[in-house]
Amino acid sequence: MSGQSVDDRLAAMGIKLPAASQPAAKYANYVIVNDLLFVSGKGPSGNPRGKLGTDYTTEEGYAFARETGIEVLAVLQSALGSLDKVKRAVKVQGFVNASEAFEEHHKVLNGFSDLLLEVFGDQGVHARSVFGAVSVRDNLPIIVDSIFQVEV
């Protein structure tokens, strides 16, 4: 995007990346195979608890998904040393902890997708899928796993 570094774009957006969160169980934060970096499932910062459709609105879910994107960016930064080594977002998969009647999973995951587009421009365009889940770890409202093509 116009020669501007990803760090410069984040600063312009007022985003300061936190330290990468650590895995919640016995798995790696990420794995690199060839030029693909697979990020393990991440949730929003602050560990909110509850379901979309009963405890949270779609708009709140969107914000949680965006926060989750920031968590993923922190993992990428930790793994690569620079977000400028991200060639493109490849795949995003979201699991929305939702009530049985909730039907706006796609609008929730847009919070994550929109962030990738803002940060990486055209390289942030990705394939994706989203699922409603009856239960997720720690009763988080959303968990997202993702795959990126990177410079190795």
Question: What phi and psi, each to the nearest 5 degrees, are found at residue 58?
Answer: -60, -40
Residue type, 145: D
How much of the chain, in percent, has pLDDT values that exceed 70?
A: 99
Q: Rounded to an integer, what distance in angstroms lies between the CA atom of residue 108 and that of residue 60?
A: 8
Give SS3 for 135.
coil
Q: Which residues does 101 contact at the CB level (< 8 Å), separation at least 6?
A: 53
Cα–Cα separations (whole angstroms), residue 30 to 14, 23, 38, 43, 80: 26, 9, 5, 14, 11
Query: Which domains, and CATH codes, for the chain?
Result: 6-150 (3.30.1330.40)
Q: Please check the confidence at residue 107 and state whether its pLDDT lies above 90.
A: yes
Q: Which residue has the higher pLDDT, 99 or 1?
A: 99
Quote the pTM value.
0.95
